[in-house]
Structure formats: structure tokens, C-alpha cells
Amino acid sequence: QVQLVESGGGLVQAGGSLRLSCVASGRAFSTNYMSWFRQVPGKEREFVAGHSWSGGRTYYADSVKGRFTISRDNAKNTVSLQMNSLKPEETAVYYCAARAQSLRSNNVGDYAYWGQGTQVTVSS
């Protein structure tokens, strides 16, 4: 079993920055690919960014490219999301997710493990 615990959410003004972190515990091989998703009430959960365990390859949604950076510390089983130039429409609950397969995926259904989510609110 894998547990994911997010932290770092909060309230920030438009144009500001936040850094989210996710610590994974449990079976290491189940977290070959880790990603961040976000969800607004009433809308589907959407992919934000992903990071492979091997090779350090990253993958971003077009809407966040150039502003968000995902990083991973395998020794600490931690994946982080640095979010810059935040916009009010990016207010959402942000979730950390993990899958055993090493291939990237932006599909919610491909992830077996999820954190509880952390609220990010961007004020205008």
C-alpha cells in the first residue's frame, strides 16, 4: 500500500507563487510515475504535471508550461510542484498521484494512489 500526503497549499494573490509537496510512503516500486492533478468543484480532475522516477523526465499541461515546475527527490520519496505566476482560475484542490507504470499519463484512471488533496486559492 502507498500513502501520499500533500502539503503547501494556501491563499495567494494573483501573480504570486506557492510550492506544494507530496511525501510518499509504502512500496517504492508503486511510485514509478508521480503527478499532480487539480480539481474545481463541479469539474473533472485535470492533469497538471508529471515526473518519472527514472530519467527525470517531466511532463506538463499546456496551461502551466513555463510557470510550474515539478521536481522529485527519490531519496526522500517526495515530489514537489513550484507554481509561479498563479491565476485566479487556478484555484482548486491539488492532488498528488502515483502509478507503478513508468510511462507518463495524464489520465486520472491510470493512477492507483492519491493523496487527500490540498487547497490552493488564488485571489484576484
Q: What is the per-residue pLDDT across 1-46, written as a single tens digit (0 to 9) for each?
A: 889 999 999 999 999 999 999 999 987 667 789 999 999 989 999 9
Determine the pLDDT at residue 29.
Answer: 67
Q: Which residues lie closer than 8 Å to 90 by C-beta, 6 or more apart?
A: 38, 83, 120, 122
Pairing of strands 68-73, 10-13: unpaired
Average pLDDT on 40-60 reads 91
Q: Which residues lie closer than 8 Å to 109 by C-beta, 6 or more apart?
A: none
Average pLDDT on 73-95 reads 95
Average pLDDT on 39-68 reads 93
